[in-house]
Amino acid sequence: MDSAQIIIQALNGLSYGLLLFLLATGLSLIFGLMGVINLAHGSFYMLGAYVGLAIINLTGNFVLALLGAALILAFVGILVERFFIQRLYKRELDQVLLTFGFAYIFMDVAKWIWGGTPRSLPKPPFLNSSLNILGEAFPVYRIAMIIIGLFVALALWLFLERTRVGAVIRAGVDDQEMVKAMGINIKIFFTGIFALGAFLAAFGGVIGGPIMGAYLGLDFNILVLALAVVVVGGLGTLKGAFWGSILIGFIETFGKVFFINFAIVTIYIAMALILIFKPAGLLGKEESY
Amino acid sequence: MKALEIKNISKSYGGLDVLINVYFTLEQGERRAIIGPNGAGKTSLFNIISGIIKPDSGEIYLLGQNVTRLSTYLRSRLGLARTFQRNTLFNNLSILDNVELALHSTKSDSNIKDILRNWGLWDKRKVIVKELSYGEQRQIEILLALVQSPKIIILDEPTAGMSPMETKTITEMIKSLSRDITVLIIEHDMDVVFNLADGISVLHNGQILCEGSPDEIKSNPLVKEVYLGTDH
Amino acid sequence: MISILNKLIPAETNLPWLAKVTMLLILVLLPFILSSYGLSLLTKVLIFGLFAMSLDILVGFTGLVSFNHASFFGVAAYTVGILVNRGFENFWLLLIPGIAIALLLAGLLGLLILRSSGAYFLMITLAFGQMLFALAWKWRSLTGGDDDGLPGIGRPEIGLPISMWNEQNFYFLVLILFIGSFLLIKKVIKSPFGKSIVGTRENELRMQSLGYNTWLIKYISYIIAAGFAALAGILYTYFNGFISPQELDWSMSGYILLMVIIGGAGTLVGPVVGAAVIIILQNLISTYTELWPLFMGLIFILCVLFARDGIVGSLLKLYQKKVGEMK
Amino acid sequence: MLQLTDVHTYYGDSHILQGVTLEVPQGSVIALLGRNGMGKTTTIHSIIGFTPPVKGQIVFEGKNIVGFQPYQIAQLGIALVPQGRRIFPSLTVKENLTIGWQKKKGQLDNDLKHIYSLFPVLKKREKHSGKHLSGGEQQMLAIGRALMTHPKLILMDEPLEGLAPTIIQDIYKKIIELKSSGYSILLVEQNIHLALKIADYVYIMNKGKIAYHGDTKQEQIKEEIKKYLSI
Amino acid sequence: CSGDKTTQPEQNPIKIGLLVPYTGVFASNGYDITRGIELYFDEIGWKAAGLEIKLLKEDSEMKGPVALQKARRLVESEQIDILTGIVSSSVAYALRDYIVANEVPLILANAGAAELTKEQGSKYIFRVSFANGQYEYPMGDYVFNELKLGKITVLAPDYAAGHEKAQGFMDGFKTSGGEIIQEIYPPLGTTDFGPYLAQINKDADAVWVHFSGTDSISFVNQYAEYGLKDKIPLLSSGDLVDESSLPHQGDAPIGIISSHHYSAALNTPENQKYVKDYRAKYNDDPNMFSEQGYVAARVTVEAIEALEGDISDTEKLLSSIKKVEFKAPRGPFSFDPKTQNVIFDTYIRKTEKIDGKLRNTVIHTIPADKNPWYLLK
Ligand SMILES: Nc1ncnc2c1ncn2[C@@H]1O[C@H](COP(=O)(O)OP(=O)(O)OP(=O)(O)O)[C@@H](O)[C@H]1O
Ligand SMILES: Nc1ncnc2c1ncn2[C@@H]1O[C@H](COP(=O)(O)OP(=O)(O)OP(=O)(O)O)[C@@H](O)[C@H]1O
Ligand SMILES: [Mg+2]
Ligand SMILES: [Mg+2]
């Protein structure tokens, strides 16, 4: 492999990793902060892609599709949280069943509306070209993905670290009653974070659409990837989700280069190895008494 | 043979030295209290004795055996029982199940019945522990340690949260334990401490400040200053 | 920290004696009433009931949400399938390598995964499960790979002059093994060991302070669960006459987990009821509409909303409340 | 300022509070005493709204707050120092303190400084996560956390549990100070000696009912306490 | 007894079981096959030899055990006369023993594993679609001798069908004298092909790929994105640019040369009628799957009509199916009597944009008897 190849593959890894970040970070928020195992997260992603496609077909505007899909799915997220999840905090098995039920329903609704044919989202025309890097072509869209991923990461970091929101949510999971006794209407925060998670998933769905497409089954493929990222990075930290994504992005990419025959399991081998040696994820703290 | 020997135990978290070269020993059958300001390192010391956290350096001998590298459960099997400062119970199980687990489910039914009768809990045996009031849970916490028939028992603020009446009962109960059993107790309730202990060790900033009989400690000006205040 | 299942689960299923006998009678008589298709569904329910019950040892009682339970099911199935295709016939003798290999695998994996807990446990088991899935997918010479799988597996020879090609006979073989396993698992759960796994689920720290080796408790429970999953896998191979990598996939593990939850984790009967509900409804609904996932999804959601502790768990609570009121 | 009239509270089917009537006048410290399991915490929880009463009235500053959400009750100016501390383990000490703080009521830095001067150790542990504090430190944090919300009424459920004698003396002084600056306090405490010293008025609970109530200066109180608390 | 029929119109209907995926990644294939079948039955008014046709649809979920369970219902409860559908080979394998033991004729409408009509074949199993390699093999010769491309890199998904199809092409290509310089097998369901594309040997004269469904859409787009489209010509099996994928691939597929047993752009009267009817009914272009469904339906009907509706004797039914021959949208249709696999002409197509729409123009036809694929066995 020459240096140009290495750079291209590194860019591949980085762009894939940041795409993973977009699709995993919502799960990380919901899972890590609120302790909700949201198996419908992939469905939000998939529906985001489908809705985004529908908006593009209507308006031809990618940015509109991006925001529109994210907002619509955020609204769906509000409904789901407000009427269902809200009763199930700290009841993980019930969350599994409920969100799995929703995943089933969302999948069928998508099939109903859009049919089963796999689709792909068109790239916005202004990003539909390639860059020449040391004689190798590299798609501009993937550079844009890297930038957007970094931007979202920064925005989230500011939002969670610079405001009280993250702390309130964590406190709410620790002891909901006590948070209320502090005069905080915690339900609104929970609903908000869940909606934000759905927003980010759908956002990722549209951004990833030109690469991953939209098809039935995308939901669960995404879910597994997102879970891997969140768990490898350690639950509940934005930092973990970020580095977890980049790491998985690189592992997947270089797995495809060096271990072609094992590409279907590289991600699992990596996960297993990490968890064997760090049972609570790379950046997660081991529960010390 | 000593019941318990703590040899130069040190422990720090990040830059925070929680225990510094703590050394003390406990004779068999002795009743010793550890007192000291909040955050002095008392609970940390208990966690190191019972093996829940590992010390950075130093050694621990239990009944003559070096247990520094032994897991918690093996120390328990050597005859060490403990209570926690924060109730650590099987919250979703009944009182009966809690006690059965503490007895390793091996003892006969009549034994359990006797125990629960003695504690006045037989009628309540099917009550789920998390539905008890705080003070009632506290009693279960102690009960679980006592029913293990330990050789050494270490109690972390056993009477905290108990009403005066219950406190008295528990104190008497500990006092009436067979003299084969070594007792180490952390308490902030000085009445309990002075009632129970043969000797007192004062822990301050992770170090043993002084040791002595209850009377010596009571009148020690240093202890007065850092811990007792002017009331006692 | 995520401590899956921190809620009250009735550790015993105290159905009255009468219900038990009725249940047994129904199971014995049903094959004479059902159509051959109905019988095959019922057989499948029992096999998956056993499979789900074995997972419940982990999920409901030990508090470990494992996502590679299908590995043991599948590995045992492949072992027996391969041996049958190589000419080994005696069912009872085949059980030994089939179950042994699953126990061995569980023993090995248990060494690697039990340091994780909660969500991390779920993910590390998922990872190992997928590796085994990939192995079955790629090791064509042994497993037939992804396409052909391992077809042509005949029905078991049980050493009696009874043909297992007869669906009723096969059903009774499954029924007997199911009841045997049920009683055995129940015995384990009621034993002091069973109490100690519940204790470990509830409070590991306290268990250690009481002198229990909680690691070993979880390890043994993982292995026991694998053993029963293996038996289910073996029966399933015979039932279908083939085995493919799909039986090892995480979706299979997830499917079983749903059965456990929907029926009621921590009640032994629950997972069986869960298996029955899911298998029968899915088959029923999908004959009427291609949108069956929609209806299954709705059913899952209704179950969560109206049967908090799973179907059997909720019924039990209701029953206990009634009994309490009568007193 | 706070008035409970014939409050009945249940846990499922069990009838725990069986008609509790008590009053916390403005600027006073009221002690609620009783043996374990008598319903003290349940009374506190009924006020803050964790276990809303099925029957009876709870009037705070002229408003019946039965049926209000806990956060609404808290926003009216009631703070809780719960039994068993219940600090937020996954938050740092500082986050614990600031989480309920409200802009309109004070200046964050000043308020923090105030708490830190009361409990200097909290300043030292500012960035530690709540779960790593010692028991006593957690108790201080729980008290500080409640004070940070600038309440009018503080419900204190055994706030002295696990505290060293010196700290207890500090808190004693603090409570007196709070009282004189107009705060009202409902204090549940097992340290009878101290409770009698701080409180203006005492209620004794027995099996979900108020068994006795009276002024702390009354002579009869000693006997009643002996009767219901057996000392 | 055929005379009775006119007097007794209320006879048992003919029951045809259809087992395809309606959920999951391959649901669209299931729906397309169903559409083809229903289009044909519409055409003939849902009657064969005067008997009503009942189509019983079941979701196979692409899972062997599920499909087997559904087949049990169809066979044992519904007593179907013929089973058709089956998208994936693994499902076909799972059903095989059961079908044979229960003597149910099975008409495969997609599953391509060659074995199913070879060693694992049975007189009960017919295939109207294709065997993996069947239309890939003759392209090897075309690429080497007509397109004059000598060094080729091959990419296909890492599962049985992917390997079989790639093998078909490589066998044909090597037999003609070509050289395969690189083989890459990404996992099935790969969406990000970037890392593979960067590895493609720049010395290759062309890249031959087989991808279908979701993979095909991602691949074609990314091949262009990484600047390869202008550097190395892309050849493929017809699946890559099947009409089911074309509308979602943008302009990226233009210029791809592929081999297939069908193209919606075929200029025969049969196909033109078919495309017209299909558009009229579904407002969509037909594709390989719907055509396979259409053909499967027609085969059943032709066989039943040849027996004048008397299908009580399974043996007779089987031999009747075997003899079916007609002009399908794809061209002349018949079974190879030995294997009961379909025989068809192979089309070399070039993807072009005509009137703003992508279509696979047929640029060369390799007649069935010139396809030496069969000679290999
Ligand atoms: N895991 C940890 N990480 C960081 N600091 C810790 C940790 N555990 C304990 N500490 C600190 O160590 C000190 C000693 O704690 P410990 O619980 O031993 O005190 P203690 O003497 O039992 O106090 P108390 O009487 O209040 O219970 C405390 O200041 C606490 O903040
Ligand atoms: N969650 C619950 N479910 C059912 N019963 C409960 C629950 N919590 C408390 N109880 C019962 O209510 C009664 C009163 O409990 P409460 O906690 O109010 O007592 P308390 O006076 O605060 O006691 P303590 O001094 O031990 O804290 C007790 O008998 C207890 O068993
Ligand atoms: Mg302590
Ligand atoms: Mg209380």
Q: Which atom of ligand 2 approaches the CA of B127 most closely? A: 31
Q: What average pLDDT does the segment E185-203 reach?
A: 90
C partners (3+ CB pairs within 8 A) are A, B, E
pLDDT at B68: 94
Minimal Cα distance from E188: which residue of A? A264
Q: What is the C-alpha to C-alpha distance for residues E239 and E245, in angstroms, rounded to an integer?
A: 8
| Structural contact between residues D80 and D70, judged by C-beta atoms closer than 8 angstroms | no
Domain ranges of chain D: 2-229
**Residue B37 structure tokens:** 């300001």
| Structural contact between residues E35 and E73, judged by C-beta atoms closer than 8 angstroms | no
Q: Is the predicted ipTM greater than 0.85, yes or no?
A: yes
Task: Please indicate if any CB of chain C lies within 8 Å of the CB of A162.
Answer: no
Is residue B164 in contact with ligand 2, taking CB distance under 6 Å?
no
Q: What is the C-alpha to C-alpha distance for residues E139 and E169, in angstroms, rounded to an integer?
A: 7
Q: Which atom of ligand 1 approaches the CA of B44 most closely? A: 18
A36-40, A67-71, B145-149, E147-151 — which one is most confidently predicted on average? A67-71
- For residue B76, which residues of chain C lie inside 8 Å, CB to CB? 208-211
User: Which of B39, A169, B227 is closest to D125 using CA atoms?
Assistant: B39
Write down the residue that tokens 């999951």 correspond to: E24
Tally of CB atoms within 10 A around B213: 11
The protein residue with its alpha carbon nearest to ligand 1, atom 31, reads D133
**Residue B172 structure tokens:** 């008497």
The protein residue with its alpha carbon nearest to ligand 1, atom 28, reads B39
User: Which of D139, D223, D181, D205 is closest to D29 using CA atoms?
Assistant: D181
For residue range C159-202, list pLDDT tens digits in order: 777 787 788 889 999 999 999 999 999 999 999 999 999 999 99
Q: Give yes or no for residue E5 having a pLDDT over 80.
A: no
Q: What is the C-alpha to C-alpha distance for residues B113 and B96, in angstroms, rounded to an integer?
A: 9
For residue range D1-11, list pLDDT tens digits in order: 899 999 999 99
Across all residues in chain D, what is the average pLDDT? 92
Residues 7-36 of B with CB under 8 A from D: 13, 36
Q: What average pLDDT does the segment E185-210 reach?
A: 91
B43 C-alpha vs ligand 1 centroid, how far in Å? Answer: 7
Domain ranges of chain C: 2-8+40-247
Q: Which of A164, A177, A184 sits opposite D50 (nearest CB)?
A: A177
Classify the C-alpha dihedral E60-E64-E68-E69 as positive or negative. Answer: negative
Q: Which atom of ligand 2 approaches the CA of D35 most closely? A: 25
pLDDT range class, residue C14, cuts 50, 70, 90: low
User: Which of A223, A236, A231, A242 is closest to A279 using CA atoms?
Assistant: A231
D84 C-alpha vs ligand 4 centroid, how far in Å? Answer: 9
| Structural contact between residues D73 and D50, judged by C-beta atoms closer than 8 angstroms | no
Q: Give yes or no for residue C327 having a pLDDT over 60.
A: no
Contact across the interface for E192 and A136, Cβ inside 8 Å: no
Which overall architecture, per CATH, does domain D2-229 show? 3-Layer(aba) Sandwich (3.40)
Is residue B49 in contact with ligand 1, taking CB distance under 6 Å?
no
pLDDT at C324: 65
The protein residue with its alpha carbon nearest to ligand 1, atom 25, reads B38
Task: Quickly list DSSP for A143-182.
Answer: HHHHHHHHHHHHHHHHHHHHSSHHHHHHHHHH-HHHHHHT
C177: amino acid identity, one letter = L
Range list of β-strands (E), E11-150 = 14-20, 47-48, 51-59, 82-85, 106-108, 125-127
Write down the residue that tokens 């009783």 correspond to: D34
pLDDT range class, residue E1, cuts 50, 70, 90: very low
- For residue D34, which residues of chain B lie inside 8 Å, CB to CB? 163
Contact across the interface for D89 and A174, Cβ inside 8 Å: yes
For residue range E102-115, list pLDDT tens digits in order: 999 999 999 988 88
| Structural contact between residues E245 and A118, judged by C-beta atoms closer than 8 angstroms | yes
| Structural contact between residues E42 and E281, judged by C-beta atoms closer than 8 angstroms | yes
Measured torsion, CA atoms of residues A101, A103, A109, A113, in degrees rounded to the nearest 10: -170
Q: What average pLDDT does the segment A257-282 reach?
A: 87
Q: What is the C-alpha to C-alpha distance for residues D187 and E110, in angstroms, rounded to an integer?
A: 78
Residue of B18, B202, B204 with the most ligand 1 atoms within 8 Å of its CB, for mutation = B18
Tally of CB atoms within 10 A around D61: 14
| Structural contact between residues C261 and A91, judged by C-beta atoms closer than 8 angstroms | no
Pairwise pLDDT comparison (B181 vs C156), residue with the higher score: B181
Across all residues in chain C, what is the average pLDDT? 88
* Closest CA of chain C from A64, distance in Å: 30
Q: What is the C-alpha to C-alpha distance for residues E37 and E31, in angstroms, rounded to an integer?
A: 10
Contact across the interface for B134 and D169, Cβ inside 8 Å: no
Q: What average pLDDT does the segment E176-197 reach?
A: 92
Q: What is the C-alpha to C-alpha distance for residues C9 and C1, in angstroms, rounded to an integer?
A: 20
Q: DSSP character for D29?
A: E
User: A245, exposed or middle or buried, with CB in 10 Å at 0-12, 13-18, 19+?
Assistant: buried
The number of C-beta contacts closer than 8 angstroms across B and C is 75
Q: Give yes or no for residue E82 having a pLDDT over 80.
A: yes
Task: Please indicate if any CB of chain E lies within 8 Å of the CB of A125.
Answer: no
Give the C-alpha distances (Å, rounded to integers) separating C87 from B60, C82, C136, C156, C167. 61, 9, 21, 12, 22
D210 C-alpha vs ligand 4 centroid, how far in Å? Answer: 15
| Structural contact between residues E301 and E44, judged by C-beta atoms closer than 8 angstroms | yes
The protein residue with its alpha carbon nearest to ligand 1, atom 12, reads B18
Contact across the interface for B39 and D134, Cβ inside 8 Å: yes
Contact across the interface for C147 and E76, Cβ inside 8 Å: no
Q: What average pLDDT does the segment E312-340 reach?
A: 91
Q: Is the pTM of this model over 0.90?
A: yes
Task: Quickly list DSSP for A100-122.
Answer: HHHHHHHHHHHHHHH-S--B-PP
For residue range C49-78, list pLDDT tens digits in order: 999 999 999 999 999 999 999 999 999 999
CB contact set of C191 (below 8 Å; sequence gap of 6+): none
Mean pLDDT by 10 residues, chain D (231 residues): 94 92 94 94 96 95 94 95 93 93 82 92 92 92 94 94 90 89 93 90 94 88 82 64
**Residue E127 structure tokens:** 């295939």
Q: What average pLDDT does the segment E335-358 reach?
A: 92
pLDDT tens-digit profile, chain B (232 residues)? 899 999 999 999 988 899 999 999 999 999 999 999 999 999 999 999 999 999 999 999 999 999 999 999 999 999 999 999 999 999 999 999 999 999 885 555 668 888 889 888 889 999 999 999 999 999 999 999 998 889 999 999 999 989 998 899 999 989 999 899 999 999 999 999 999 999 999 999 999 999 999 999 988 898 888 888 775 4
B95 C-alpha vs ligand 2 centroid, how far in Å? Answer: 15
Q: Give yes or no for residue E9 having a pLDDT over 60.
A: no
Q: What is the C-alpha to C-alpha distance for residues D178 and D198, in angstroms, rounded to an integer?
A: 11
